[in-house]
Amino acid sequence: MIFFWRLIFSLIIAFSMMFVTPHAHSLTVANSEITANDLFKLGVNQMQQENYQAAIEYLNLAIKMQNEFIAAYKNRCLAYLQLQDYPEAIADCSQVLNLAPDDSEAYLNRGLAQYRQENYVDAIADYNQALALKPDDFRVYYNRGIAFAEQGDYAQAIIDYNRALSEITPHDNLLLADIYNDRGLAYFELQNLPEAMNNFNLAIDLNSDDDRAYFNRGCICGRSGDNLGAKYDFSQVIRLNPSNAQAYLNRGIANYNLGYYQRAIADLETASEYFRKQEQTLAYRKTLDLLKIVQQEISSTLEIA
């Protein structure tokens, strides 16, 4: 009962916002004097504050005043992506490409929106277009690699991850850790456990607070029979993310295999409680079933002893 943490939030959004430092009073002019650019700046300001719906409203007004306002479409797309309104994000990217066919950022963001709708073929097509325009953009290689992985083409995903690693700024440790983590998952799917382990080690070396990499490495340890290693890694996950039910479940299995029966029961009980709170009904029931089996086995062992 080992679960791999699929890294699905690691895709990169191409932030193209023209950030503006607002004055203490954003606008003091009369409404009749407000321009499309003023409204655009207000929208960007709302984006900076993560008020995405308000940003969209300002950008709508800017576009209404200036129909071919490319930057407004691009930033509204970003707001829609944050709100998970992918059809609207795609529509804005398409409008940008109608006005500026060589805009690689629009292809990148439209590819991301397509990916999140599980339209992997369309996402890859957009990433290909982005790379044709900007062949050294690590973000596109990385995102395309994830799309290939979702299609089950792990060998091609690894090729893209390798290219992303060759193009990325070497000191961007958090992003490097994400790429190593995803490459590790691809190697695992290809049954290359040593390379998977190596990549998860690299991810942890770059970001010691990455609970995902600890989780994945713990799964490799469990698969390889290294229960002490699994116990350590799942403990790190729990330290960093105390409500991770799967980490408690997997640590409980490792504790059981190590003969720490009471600790195993405690972990399984905690896992079942988190699964219940998180409304993961199937996982909750299966964990309770496993807990009963462990309790029965321990009881039988004590009676024999």
pLDDT of residue 26: 39
> For the whole model, what pTM was predicted?
0.84
pLDDT in tens, the chain (305 residues): 445 444 433 454 444 444 333 332 334 334 558 899 999 999 999 999 999 999 999 999 999 999 999 999 999 999 999 999 999 999 999 999 999 999 999 999 999 999 999 999 999 999 999 999 999 999 999 999 999 999 999 999 999 999 999 999 888 899 999 999 999 999 999 999 999 999 999 999 999 999 999 999 999 999 999 999 999 999 999 999 999 999 999 999 999 999 999 999 999 999 999 999 999 999 999 999 999 999 888 776 654 44
163 domain residue, yes or no: no
Q: How many domains does the chain have?
A: 1
134 domain residue, yes or no: no
Residue 302 maps to which CATH number? 1.25.40.10
193 domain residue, yes or no: no
143 domain residue, yes or no: no
219 domain residue, yes or no: no
Residue 301: which domain range?
230-305
191 domain residue, yes or no: no
Q: What angle do CA 220, 286, 212 make, to 5 degrees?
A: 35
